[in-house]
Chains A and B, each alone.
Chain A
């Protein structure tokens, strides 16, 4: 071998040793109402090191407008995205149904459902076309926040002005079902409308209570109805053809590893709501009445093809596994 060849071989070898195989860059568009310094964005930073293990360098971009994040994802400008379960429904009807009204009535049920879906066996439900749900994170139960405690029963909701996310057919159906008056709102505007009295009622998870100062709207007269209307969640969705094989499951494992933190956060947020604000349903019968009403709405939305029938069935199974004495368990309508 000539000196030149030796030199060339040596140079090539040293290049090979010196070069670290670069990870593939992929974008991750994160909806956080606060922006890049918000709690969701900070949490999603954690996924960077997980992705790195799969050879992906995630570039996080913050979106304060969820609609734009969803559109950019759809248009292929984001390889992955974090959205609320409601927005995620257009990419996966099954996981989008996890926020169905009254379908998950306790944190234990939610944990069981999420653990099942995040296991490799649940992967089948996480894929819809080229979209794949790479994780679902609980955000807590949604409660009704009322400016006065005169609302004791569903019939009292008639004619009340309710801040409603009107892009969500499920919310629209529900508000109309109870005879409420729809006042269009978004996650950015509902708190202002509630606090300044433009609406009588808003619905939100407890994590919104302190940062958005919902106690201002509650004042001395208001109350929080102690009934879980739905379970809000955040979902990571990926274009599966833009990610390496197995990335979705890896990301779901990451999400599952954060459940304890998420539930702890929810517990803390619920404890921040002053005890005098909580308004319990009048009786167990009333509570069962709400359960039945929400079930009717779910079935209607299933028939309207908003909710996924199998997801409803799964949640029904879990409810009845936890409490077989529920009247619905004998009827089996879902």
Chain B
């Protein structure tokens, strides 16, 4: 009996020691899996449904290292990584926009030193944005484990389709940010063409015209990739309408970017006007409020740039959708007989 007791004690001790040794890892792993599962199932959809972009950006910057650190103890949550890194990138992007406005004001004032310094700050912010956006793209690539642009990922779930969409957008943004940073951030220049083809994997109707819009933008960016019989501008316009009719106006951004690229200022203005008009007439889709708001902010940054170039300040409150050189008809009545 005594022998049996000793044996049992020994077994318990060994098991306890073993558990103590691996206990932390076990807890971490479980916590990591729980956090990743929770983030994908609740945190991300919640953040997408709010329209406070500053909070979205802050969440991205603050939470990304914490959430992604669990990849040390369990499988990396690549799907969460896509959305977290792309959110964090918006912070850097917004800083870059602000520096650009400072640069434009300095140019207007003829202050070369201030302009140069602001431009350097702008480039630094774009370099950070490019890094974050490319990480988002790489997480998308890892999550689906396919050759982007050659094959489609497993896209049965709507959540996975969102990851695919955000990954593609991040890839395009990464390339643009790298170009704006005037530095090599390690982003391959064929990302644009790959994303253009990968966009075909998503149903346009389900994603508010965004996939088509991305494809058409790429056609305007990369010489010689537009298929015969297609018209990028028609496609962009159709996609924008689709987005406006569904209350997620992300496609407006791609149409405006294509117009900016082509130097077509009038079209840029028309897109912004249409966007503002749509906000008034079509309520935002609740589960994608963040994406719609990001679209609005991106277009407002373009508007700010145009206002600053012409007037020295950004778009005044209440004037988004209007431009300094708009011809305003002022109605008066004839008062000659009173004079």
Could you tell me which A residues sit within 8 Å of B by CB distance?
A: 20-23, 33-39, 42-43, 45-46, 48-50, 52-53, 55, 57, 61-64, 187-193, 210-213, 261, 264-265, 268, 272
Contact B109 A34 (CB under 8 A): no
Q: Which 3 A-B pairs have the closest CB atoms?
A: A35-B261, A192-B224, A211-B189
Q: Is B14 an interface residue (CB 8 A)?
A: no
Determine which residue in A23, A37, A191, A272 has the highest number of CB atoms from chain B within 10 A of its CB, and name it: A37
User: A294 to B240, alpha carbons, bound, how many Å?
Assistant: 52
Contacts A37-B176, A52-B112, A191-B223: A46 and B182 contacting too (C-beta < 8 A)?
Answer: yes
Contact B224 A191 (CB under 8 A): yes
Could you tell me which B residues sit within 8 Å of A by CB distance?
A: 107-110, 112, 115-116, 119, 176, 179-180, 182, 184, 188-190, 192-193, 220-225, 257, 260-263
Contact A35 B182 (CB under 8 A): no
Name 12 extra pairs, CB < 8 A, besides A49-B119, A57-B110, A210-B189.
A21-B110, A34-B223, A35-B220, A35-B221, A37-B260, A46-B182, A50-B112, A62-B262, A192-B224, A211-B190, A213-B190, A265-B184
Contacts A49-B115, A212-B222: A35 and B179 contacting too (C-beta < 8 A)?
Answer: no
User: A244 to B221, alpha carbons, bound, how many Å?
Assistant: 35
What are 15 A-B interface contacts by the 8 Å CB criterion? A20-B109, A34-B221, A36-B260, A42-B182, A49-B107, A49-B116, A50-B112, A53-B112, A55-B110, A57-B107, A57-B108, A191-B223, A192-B224, A210-B188, A210-B190
User: A189 to B223, alpha carbons, bound, how many Å?
Assistant: 7
Q: Note all chain B residues with C-beta closer than 8 A to A57.
A: 107-108, 110
A55 CB to nearest B CB, Å: 8
Q: Note all chain B residues with C-beta closer than 8 A to A49.
A: 107, 112, 115-116, 119
Q: Note all chain B residues with C-beta closer than 8 A to A45.
A: 119
Cβ-neighbour of B262 out of A36, A42, A50 (below 8 A): A36
Q: Note all chain A residues with C-beta closer than 8 A to B257.
A: 37
Q: Note all chain A residues with C-beta closer than 8 A to B109.
A: 20
Q: Note all chain A residues with C-beta closer than 8 A to B188.
A: 210, 272
A293 CB to nearest B CB, Å: 30
Q: Note all chain B residues with C-beta closer than 8 A to A43.
A: 182
Contact A212 B224 (CB under 8 A): yes
Contact B223 A187 (CB under 8 A): yes
Contacts A49-B115, A188-B223, A211-B190: A20 and B262 contacting too (C-beta < 8 A)?
Answer: no
Q: Note all chain A residues with C-beta closer than 8 A to B179.
A: 34, 37-39, 42
Nearest residue (CB) in B for A39 is B179
Q: Note all chain A residues with C-beta closer than 8 A to B261.
A: 34-38, 62
Q: Note all chain B residues with C-beta closer than 8 A to A53.
A: 112
B252 CB to nearest A CB, Å: 17
Q: Note all chain B residues with C-beta closer than 8 A to A48.
A: 107, 115
Nearest residue (CB) in B for A48 is B107
Nearest residue (CB) in A for B262 is A35
User: A39 to B187, alpha carbons, bound, how many Å?
Assistant: 13
Q: Note all chain A residues with C-beta closer than 8 A to B262.
A: 35-36, 62, 64
Cβ-neighbour of A52 out of B107, B190, B193, B222 (below 8 A): B107
User: A22 to B257, alpha carbons, bound, how many Å?
Assistant: 30
Q: Note all chain A residues with C-beta closer than 8 A to B220.
A: 35
Determine which residue in B108, B110, B224, B225 has the highest number of CB atoms from chain A within 10 A of its CB, and name it: B224
Q: Note all chain B residues with C-beta closer than 8 A to A193.
A: 224
Nearest residue (CB) in B for A265 is B184
Contact B222 A211 (CB under 8 A): yes
User: A244 to B216, alpha carbons, bound, how many Å?
Assistant: 42
Contact A52 B110 (CB under 8 A): yes
A16 CB to nearest B CB, Å: 15
Nearest residue (CB) in B for A214 is B190
User: A23 to B224, alpha carbons, bound, how many Å?
Assistant: 39
